[in-house]
Amino acid sequence: MHLYDLPLLFALIGLVLYVVLAGADFGAGFWQLVAGRGERGRRVREHAHDSMAPVWEANHVWLIFVLVVMWTCYPEAFASIASTLSIPLFVAALGIIFRGAAYALRAGTSQARELRVIDAIFSIASVLTPFALGTVVGGIASGRVPVGNAAGDAWSSWLNPTSVTIGLLAVALSAYLAAVYLAADAVRRGDAEMEQAFRLRALGAGLVAGGMAAGALVVLRDDTRALFDELVSGAGLAAVIVSALAGLGTLLLVRARSYERSRYSAAVAVAAIVAGWAIAQAPALLPGQLTVEQAAAGDDTLIAVVAAVVAGVVVLAPSLGLLFTLTLRGSLGHGGSGEEHGPTAVAPLGGAASAGAGAGGGGAVAAAGVTDEWPTPVHALGAARNGLLARGAIAFAVLGFGFLTVADAGWAHAIGVPCLFAAALLGFRAAVPLD
């Protein structure tokens, strides 16, 4: 392991996490797409949405992480990939827009008709994005990205047997991961019907994904022989076997209703596939074109990125731990949004709000009716202290003007800006709250 390999390792770990975590989000969209109509279909869609809403943004960031590490540490390879494969990347980007927008929109509606439109957009995007990103991986792995500014073919670089196979595999894997996670979520919520529904989906999707992974090997044999040879020998073969065993183990765990453990074995299966790809392709970053060593940026940049990643992980790990702990413990309730989605809760509230609107808005009526008995916020601050704050604000504003505006030296500006911020803070505190 050289220094120039290290950021690539980070990017691959990021890719695994993206596939495992965000892949499950995409898969949830797939299940929404095929949920069918009627009450049961609605419940499947609600369950899929509610499980993913608090975590999808955090999961999405892994993609950004991969992109950023790639362009900082392997700029030439990144530029070649992004320009040659701009079409599938653009398709993935559009899918990401639709998906994010659907999450934002869903918070604001409770009407079945609007939900159907939003869910349809969401679902299509959820299938499109993993497919497009899978074709990108296929284009790189099959050596169809030459070094240079859009040097490769705009179409055949991603519409080829390897790309399409990996794209479809990405969709199947997402659906499989999502079904496993959603079954586990259903157990935690004590929802036996959803558990059963997603257990069956997980088993079915697992079989399909496993079959497709085996089929992918056949396609690779024809289309990308060099990669195939590496995958069926040595460390590559070990990775393939680990993936197959973990996949099989997951199926057995799902069958035995041991969902929490099956989450991890499913993740291992995916990680092994990505690892197999990396092992089979090493030491090339763009096969036949560029090795990792050739593509890597200078040592100072690599060290800086490694340092940033290590420092970032130190802060990130406990934060992510907190998010997932709270999610698994059920502390991140859907209190606000959940109840409002339900048809029972919305009817009386909607009625009250529209009745209130005539008399100046529901919120206003409610606020005026109840909150008068509370102390007014002005009491929080005495008038004398307010005066002091205001005078302090003026003093700092004068200092800031002197150091930032009148003075020309850099050190003076470094004093002037904090003075102005202090003035703004004190001024804000003096002027707010008012009632």
Partner 1 sequence: MALLETITAAVQLTPVEQSHLDQARQMQAMSFAVHIPLTCFGVAFPALVVFTEWLHLRTGDPLYRRIARRWSRIMVALFAVGVVTGTILSFELGMLWPNFMGSFGDVFGLGFAIEGFAFFLEAIFIGIYVYGWDRMKPRQHWLCGLPIVATGVLGAAMVIAVNGWMNHPGGFDLVDGEVANVRPWSALFGNTFFWHELVHMYVAAYIVVGFLLAGAYAWGKLRGRWGRYERTALAIPLTVAAVAAPVQLLVGDWAAREVAQHQPVKLAALEGLQETTKGAPEHILGWYDKDTGEIRWGISIPKLLSFLSYHDPNATVRGLDSVPPDDRPGPINTVRFAFQTMVGIGTALAALAAIVLFVRWRRRRLPESVWFYRALVLAGPAAVVALISGWVVTEVGRQPWIVYEVMRVDAAVTGAGGVPVGYALLALVYVGLLAALAWILRRLSRMPLRDDAEVLT
Per-residue HEC secondary structure of the chain comes to CCHHHHHHHHHHHHHHHHHHHHHHHHHHHHHHHCCCCHHHHHHHHHHHHHHHCCCHHHHHHHHHHHHHHHHHHCHHHHHHHHHHCHHHHHHHHHHHHHHHHHHHHHCCCCCHHHHHHHHHHHHHHHHHHHHHHHHHHHHHHCCCCCCCCCCCCCCCCCCCHHHHHHHHHHHHHHHHHHHHHHHHHHHHHCCHHHHHHHHHHHHHHHHHHHHHHHHHHHHHHHHCHHHHHHHCCHHHHHHHHHHHHHHHHHHHHHHCCCHHHHHHHHHHHHHHHHHHHHHHHCCEEECCCEEHHHHCCCHHHHHHHHHHHHHHHHHHHHHHHHHHHHHHHCCCCCHHHHHHHCHHHHHHHHHHHHHHHHCCCHHHHHHHHHHHHCCCHHHHCCHHHHHHHHHHHHHHHHHHHHHHHHCCCHHHHHHHHHHHHHHHHHHHHHHCCCC
- Candidate list 1, 370, 384, 409; residue touching partner 1; CB under 8 A: 370
- Candidate list 164, 208, 365, 399; residue touching partner 1; CB under 8 A: 365
Q: Which is nearer to partner 1, 101 or 207 (CB)?
A: 101
Within 84-103, the residues that bind partner 1 by CB under 8 A are: 84, 86-87, 89-90, 92-94, 96-101, 103
Q: How far is the CB of 304 from partner 1 (least distance, A)?
A: 5
Angle made by CA atoms 64, 67, 68, in degrees to the nearest 5:
85
Alpha-carbon gap, residue 181 to 363, rounded angstroms: 39
Alpha-carbon gap, residue 306 to 418, rounded angstroms: 32
Q: Which is nearer to partner 1, 150 or 242 (CB)?
A: 150
Alpha-carbon gap, residue 246 to 403, rounded angstroms: 65
- Candidate list 232, 367, 388, 398; residue touching partner 1; CB under 8 A: 367
Q: Which is nearer to partner 1, 106 or 263 (CB)?
A: 106
Q: How far is the CB of 415 from partner 1 (least distance, A)?
A: 12
Q: Which is nearer to partner 1, 80 or 250 (CB)?
A: 80
Q: Kindly write out the interface string for residues 275-304 of this chain, putting x where it contacts partner 1 by CB under 8 A and - elsewhere.
A: ----------------------xx-xx--x
Q: How far is the CB of 319 from partner 1 (least distance, A)?
A: 5
**387: exposed, middle or buried (C-beta count within 10 Å: 0-12, 13-18, 19+)?**
exposed
- Candidate list 120, 326, 328, 398; residue touching partner 1; CB under 8 A: 326
Q: Which is nearer to partner 1, 226 or 304 (CB)?
A: 304
Within 193-252, the residues that bind partner 1 by CB under 8 A are: none
Q: How far is the CB of 263 from partner 1 (least distance, A)?
A: 19
- Candidate list 83, 258, 291, 294; residue touching partner 1; CB under 8 A: 83
Q: How far is the CB of 40 from partner 1 (least distance, A)?
A: 26
**101: exposed, middle or buried (C-beta count within 10 Å: 0-12, 13-18, 19+)?**
middle
Establish if 328 lies at the interface with partner 1 (CB under 8 A).
Answer: no
Q: How far is the CB of 302 from partner 1 (least distance, A)?
A: 8
Q: Which is nearer to partner 1, 118 or 197 (CB)?
A: 118
Within 50-79, the residues that bind partner 1 by CB under 8 A are: 53-55, 57-58, 60-61, 63-65, 67-69, 71-73, 75-76, 78-79
Q: How far is the CB of 307 from partner 1 (least distance, A)?
A: 9
**Part in contact with partner 1 (CB under 8 A); list of ranges 26-34, 134-142, 214-222, 368-376:** 368-376
- Candidate list 41, 249, 392, 427; residue touching partner 1; CB under 8 A: 427
Q: Quick check: 80 and 151 in contact, CB under 8 A?
A: yes
Establish if 27 lies at the interface with partner 1 (CB under 8 A).
Answer: no
Q: Which is nearer to partner 1, 30 or 403 (CB)?
A: 403
Q: How far is the CB of 250 from partner 1 (least distance, A)?
A: 27
**Part in contact with partner 1 (CB under 8 A); list of ranges 28-36, 161-169, 241-249, 320-328:** 320-328
**2: exposed, middle or buried (C-beta count within 10 Å: 0-12, 13-18, 19+)?**
exposed
Q: Which is nearer to partner 1, 257 or 379 (CB)?
A: 379
- Candidate list 192, 200, 322, 388; residue touching partner 1; CB under 8 A: 322
- Candidate list 192, 364, 388, 398; residue touching partner 1; CB under 8 A: 364
Q: Kindly write out the interface string for residues 120-159 of this chain, putting x where it contacts partner 1 by CB under 8 A and - elsewhere.
A: -----------------------------xxx--xx----
